[in-house]
């Protein structure tokens, strides 16, 4: 099945700095989904990308799907303490099963 590697595993930033997490695969992905899990919470869906080269924005968050559909990134501009959490990427195949990366834990120093 499809597998995704997510880097970095941890990222600590000062409030106001930018943050990026990457999701990479050795095979072409049909789609990529991003989720955020706040400390003590459960993963919550952020966005889905399906097209080669697709870029989507949600306020300070920018999501990209690579041209070859083998990688994706989530970039947060000017982080805030509310951005703290673990960000997961996931990809699904034809059987509706999502395979997740191990996540990137973001901590923000106020």
Partner 1 sequence: DVKVTQSSRYLVKRTGEKVFLECVQDMDHENMFWYRQDPGLGLRLIYFSYDVKMKEKGDIPEGYSVSREKKERFSLILESASTNQTSMYLCASRKYSYEQYFGPGTRLTVT
By the 8 A CB rule, do 83 and 106 touch? yes
Question: How far does the chain reach from its first CA to its final CA, in angstroms?
Answer: 40
Select from 14-22, 39-47, 55-63, 70-78 the region that touches partner 1 (CB under 8 A): 39-47
The distance of Cα 68 from the centroid of its chain, to the nearest Å, equals 17
Select from 20-28, 35-43, 52-60, 67-75 the region that touches partner 1 (CB under 8 A): 35-43
Is residue 21 close enough to count as binding partner 1 by CB under 8 A? no
Per DSSP, what are the bridge partners of residue 47? Answer: 34
Taking the complex as a whole, the smallest distance from the CB of residue 16 to partner 1 amounts, in Å, to: 28
Pick the binder of partner 1 from 43, 65, 74, 83 (CB under 8 A): 43
| Residue number with CB closer to partner 1 (12 or 15) | 12
Inter-CA distances, 21 with 1, 30, 34, 54, 106, Å:
22, 19, 11, 16, 9
Positions touching partner 1 (CB under 8 A) are: 6, 9, 31, 33, 35, 41-45, 48, 88, 90, 92, 95-103
């Amino acid at each position: 099945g499809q597998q995704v590697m997510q880097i970095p595993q941890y990222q600590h930033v000062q409030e106001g700095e930018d943050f990026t997490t990457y999701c990479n695969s050795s095979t072409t992905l049909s789609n990529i989904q991003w989720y955020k899990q706040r400390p003590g919470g459960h993963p919550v869906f952020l966005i889905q990308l399906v097209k080669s080269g697709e870029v989507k924005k949600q306020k300070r968050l920018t999501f990209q799907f690579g041209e070859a559909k083998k990688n994706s990134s989530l970039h947060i501009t000017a982080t805030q303490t509310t951005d703290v959490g673990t960000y997961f990427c996931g990809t699904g195949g034809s059987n509706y099963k999502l395979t997740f990366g191990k996540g990137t834990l973001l901590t923000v120093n106020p």
